[in-house]
Amino acid sequence: MALKYSSITKKVIMSLAGLFLIAFLFVHMTVNLLVLINDNGETFNKAAHFMVSNPIIQFMQIFLFGGFIIHIIMGIVLQIQNWKARPKRYKVAPYSEMSPFSKFMIHTGMLIFLVLIYHLYNFFFQAKTGNIEHVVYNGTEYEDMAKLVLVKFRQLPHTIIYIIWLLLLGFHLDHAFHSGLQSLGFNHNKYTPTVFIISRIIAIVLTVGFITIPVVIYFYRQLPV
């Protein structure tokens, strides 16, 4: 089905899925940053519990996974078509004055996807399968996600993998927001320069926001006893 869509329809689908994923990343980052509150993870655990138990959010999870799958499959289909469109490559690689990251979306995308599986295994599936310690606040039992995060990010190799992964995500996001709007047809000589600035700010805020977590935990947090 993805093959039959016209080039522009594919771009539009790619863009809508991508913009949705940016929105998701902001929610994800905001909840994650709660783990840095120094209250033995109580706020974060309660927020994490809300995210896994609220029926509306559980329903939205279908769209989230759908968004990921569509973005990945459509990206691969488009890339294969694009490679096929130039069967013989140039001896001197084409020079372009535009952002270097825009040329490597498939490469950063594939690497992000590979570590994403590792990430889901580390946190999402640990919590989903109940393979996690519990903690009690005011008589109610919660999954101790905060402890899981602390344990993981006290390990140097793990922290380094996450920082590299998040930098790759940042490079991917640098060609995300403005590109998505362009694909949807939003380009205006008055607003597009601002859109480019917003796009870079989104990439920097998300990357720095996420990277803060492993870095702060590794250097400034002790494992709870």
Partner 1 sequence: MDLTLKIWRQPNASSKGKFVTYKIKDISPGSSFLEMMDELNESLVTKGDEPVAFDHDCREGICGTCSMFINGRPHGPDTGVTTCQLHMRKFKDGDTIVIEPWRARAFPVLKDLIVDRTAFDKIVQAGGYVSVNTGGVPDGNAIPIPKVDAELAMDAAACISCGACVAACKNASAMLFVGAFVSKFALLPQGRIEAHERVQKMVAEMDRQGFGNCTNTGACEAECPKLITLENIARLNREFLAAKLGARKGENVRGGGGI
Query: Which residues lie near partner 1 (CB under 8 A)?
Result: 4-12, 78, 81-82, 84-99, 102-103, 105, 175, 178-179, 182-189, 192
SS (H, E, C) 2-45: CCCCCHHHHHHHHHHHHHHHHHHHHHHHHHHHHHHCCCCCHHHH
Q: Which is nearer to partner 1, 86 or 140 (CB)?
A: 86
As a whole number of angstroms, the distance between CA 151 and CA 31 comes to 18
Nearest to partner 1 of 55, 88 (CB atom): 88
Nearer to partner 1, 12 or 31 (CB): 12
**Nearer Cβ to partner 1 (9/131):** 9
Question: Which of 105, 211, 85 is closest to 160 using CA atoms?
Answer: 211
Please state the closest distance from residue 21 (CB atom) to partner 1, in A.
17
Q: CB of residue 65 vs partner 1: minimum separation in angstroms?
A: 24
Give the other-Cβ count within 10 Å of 116's Cβ.
15
**Cα–Cα distance, 54 to 35 (Å, whole number):** 19
Q: How far is the CB of 98 from partner 1 (least distance, A)?
A: 4
Nearer to partner 1, 61 or 187 (CB): 187
CA distance 110 to 131: 28
Q: Which residue has the tokens 């922290």?
A: 159
CB of 70 to partner 1, least distance (A): 16
- Which is nearer to partner 1, 86 or 225 (by Cβ)? 86
DSSP-based three-state secondary structure for 86 = coil
Contact in structure between 109 and 38 (CB atoms under 8 Å): no
| All residues at 6 or more sequence positions from 78 whose CB lies less than 8 Å from its CB, including other chains | 10, 11, 14
Smallest distance from partner 1 to CB 18, Å: 11
Count the alpha carbons within 13 Å of 174 in the hemisphere toward its beta carbon. 16
Shortest CB 22 distance to partner 1, Å: 15
